[in-house]
Chains A and B, each alone.
Chain A
Amino acid sequence: MSGDMNLLEVEDLRIELTADNGRYPAVEGVSFTIARGETVGLVGESGCGKSITALSVMGLLRHPLALAGGKIRLTGQEIQDLPPAEMRALRGKRIAMIFQEPMTALNPLKTVGRQIAEMYVLHQGANWNDADARAVEALKQVKVPAPERRARAYPHELSGGMRQRVMIAIALACEPDLLIADEPTTALDVTVQSEIVDLMKELCSAKGTAILMISHDLGLVTDICKRVCVMYAGRIVEQQDSEMIFNRPQHPYTQGLVASLPRLGMRARHGRQRLTEISGVVPGITAYPDGCRFHPRCGRKTEICEKVAPELTPLADGALVRCYHYG
């Protein structure tokens, strides 16, 4: 381990899915690190394994998914095999998570103030009176208008954007080292999405909280994160600086994704051009092809791609790509 220790190190992660009397690798050979205060994104389509990678860091994998190999270290300490009680103490205190749909993540029977206050009581031993007062402060920080009144509201009385602010307040209550955000704005309207994203960026950078952002939206991830890992069919296929991923994607899949997006402003610059299609479909977890998992959809495949899975190749500036024919 290097001198300046990483906050999070995920090394050679393997997650298996039990289905149809077999075990299938839903995530395989996934490694990445997050330094203190750093922002890293995991991008990919549904089923690529990005969410379960995040869940494994939280120790929240449940049957039929199970960790089958690899190490997860938080400031050097291996946490993948911690007993449930110790993991529970960590969760919410040092690693917190916000989810796509705040309505299903919040308890409908408790006021939002109480749900925030719970964090101080459970993790910091505060008494309920102090905790309730701090919950109002927390709501103020996430810019909920009239926080005293809103603290007494139930989740169903709040709009989607307000609920997600409450989720952020809960997640950041104990000033965790790492915030995992799994599609935090997908359920929201675009103008609200951009406000929530700004809020997350602002609060996390003020408190030095690192972010692991999970999304299918490459634009959103590059907006928030310094570094992006692109996942395809359970593997990281490319890791790049956010600045570079749109301008110089290296993996054929990333290149295909970038070229296939109809981005605002393209028509004015280049006229209406037929969008570049990525042929075929994402393979199912139980039917991952041999070799490079992208080869059936790839225009550059050669014989080796069908047989031997490529390793991650380091490029300049710390970028990585898993392809024989990158660039």
Chain B
Amino acid sequence: MADTDLLAIEDLAVHFPVGGGMFSQPQMLRAVDGVSLRIRPGESLGLVGESGCGKSTLALSILGLVDPTRGRVVVDGTAVGTDTDRLAVARTVQMVFQDPYASLNPRQTVRRTLAAPLRLHGITNSGEVADRVAEMLRQVGLRPDQADLYPHEFSGGQRQRIGIARALILKPKLVICDEPVSALDVSIRAQIINLLLELQAEMGLSYLMISHDLGVVEHMSDKVAVMYLGRIVETGGWREIFERPRHPYTRALIAAIPDPLTRALGREKAHGEVPSPLNPPPGCTFNPRCPHAIDKCRASPPVLSPIEEGHLVSCWRAEELSTVRA
């Protein structure tokens, strides 16, 4: 791993045994199956994919909440697993959840919610705790005098601000944002997106931005990785991914956006639904849904390989598929 990487994921695989009993073998669910990713300090990586593609398992393994079956996750120079010191990981990596209604304790005041991580990490001087809570609330656009209110007394957007404050109060380096705005009202989303970008600039944060909303990902990310059935199928800078997408799945995601702005970019759609990760199709796992699949795609899986500087694609036909969006 290069010294400059804050997060380095190398050939990570996380498999879960499913079912099985006294007389039957469990099946293996390959939630993450050979993923390599890097995030540098201050950089944002957008992770795109549909439900069941392994995004959340990937997030859990970065937080050290599941063990790799293969490969490793290195955060700020330390390999992470379930036997790693949780407190040490928590000082470096924090998470902002999708649903601010579900992720805050309704019976705790904001002050208690924000003070808990500080106390856990040895900051017990009550004056200092109060100062840091007040300062953090100010940073996320709330008033320090709101610290003694309960979550239900806030609006959805304000609750997400509290969720962000809780994630940032320990001054982590990497923040995993799992669909940070999709549970919010449309007119509130811009406020939270702007806030996340401001905080990134102020605190030098790195983001792993998990979202299915490509508009949000384009707006917030430096690099983008597209995930399908446990693997990265395409990765590159945001321009490469959104201006010159090469993988048919990436193109299908773009074509699926119902926006007059992208409507002009063509309608190269995917058909059917994501197959079960318990029983993925042979060859390229996207082949049953791919408009360009040929025999080779059904026979052997392609590998992620560079197609231009910093732009990797896992598709047998990436070279021949024109760079112009069909």
Contacts and interface: CB of A to CB of B under 8 A. Distances in A.
Nearest to B262: A264
A263 B261 contact: yes
Contacts of B155: 281
Given A189-B212, A262-B215, A281-B157, A194 B273 contact: no
A267 B252 CA distance: 20
Nearest to A274: B194
B239 interface: yes
A222 interface: yes
Contact of A263 (B51, B157, B220, B259): B259
A223 interface: yes
Interface string A195-219: 1011000000000000000001111
A256 B216 CA distance: 17
A161 B273 contact: yes
Interface stretch (B3-11, B125-133, B185-193): B185-193
B193 A256 contact: no
Contact of B257 (A264, A274, A276): A264
B50 interface: yes
A194 B269 contact: yes
A304 interface: no
A46 B185 CA distance: 7
A190 B255 CA distance: 10
A185 to B, nearest CB: 9
B50 A189 contact: yes
B107 interface: no
Given A219-B260, A274-B194, A263 B215 contact: yes
Nearest to A145: B272
B238 interface: yes
B119 interface: no
B218 A277 contact: no
Given A45-B185, A192-B273, A277 B191 contact: yes
Q: Chain B binding site: helix, strand, loop or mixed by DSSP?
A: helix
A216 B191 CA distance: 17
B273 A264 contact: no
Nearest to A193: B256
A185 B200 CA distance: 33
A282 interface: yes
- How big is the B interface, by class? 35 or more
Contact of B190 (A45, A266, A278, A282): A278
A129 interface: no
Contacts of A190: 50, 212, 253, 256-257
A75 B238 CA distance: 51
B260 A264 contact: no
A194 B256 contact: yes
A194 B190 contact: no
B258 interface: yes
Given A190-B256, A195-B269, A278 B187 contact: yes
Interface string A148-190: 0000000000010110000000000000000000000000011
Given A191-B252, A194-B269, A256 B261 contact: no
Contacts of B254: 264
A32 interface: no
A272 interface: yes
A300 B33 CA distance: 53
Contact of A219 (B193, B257, B273): B257
B98 to A, nearest CB: 14
B37 interface: no
A275 B50 contact: no
A282 B212 CA distance: 25
B190 A264 contact: no
Contacts of B216: 262
Contacts of B51: 189
A45 B187 contact: yes
Contacts of A218: 186
Interface in B191-217: 191, 193-194, 197, 212-216
A197 B258 CA distance: 9
A246 B253 contact: no
Interface string A273-306: 0111110011000000000000001000000000
Interface in B232-286: 238-239, 242-243, 252-263, 265, 269-271, 273-274
Nearest to B219: A262
A90 interface: no
Contacts of A261: 186, 189-190, 215
Interface string A248-267: 00000100110011111111
Given A194-B255, A195-B271, A262 B193 contact: yes
Contact of B259 (A46, A191, A216, A219): A219
Contacts of B158: 281
The residue in A46, A162, A191, A220 that gathers the most chain B C-beta atoms within 10 A of its C-beta is A191
B216 to A, nearest CB: 5
A85 interface: no
Contacts of A195: 269, 271
Given A191-B269, A193-B256, 17 more contacts: A189-B273, A190-B212, A191-B253, A194-B255, A195-B271, A197-B258, A216-B186, A218-B186, A220-B258, A223-B258, A261-B190, A265-B242, A265-B265, A266-B261, A278-B188, A281-B156, A281-B157
Interface of A: 45-46, 159, 161-162, 189-195, 197-198, 216-220, 222-224, 243, 246, 253, 256-257, 260-268, 272, 274-278, 281-282, 297
25 contacts: A159-B273, A189-B212, A190-B256, A191-B50, A191-B256, A192-B273, A193-B256, A194-B256, A194-B269, A195-B269, A197-B258, A217-B258, A219-B258, A222-B260, A223-B258, A260-B187, A263-B259, A264-B242, A265-B218, A266-B218, A267-B218, A277-B191, A281-B156, A281-B185, A282-B187
Q: 5 closest pairs, A vs B, by CB?
A: A262-B219, A260-B190, A223-B258, A194-B256, A275-B190
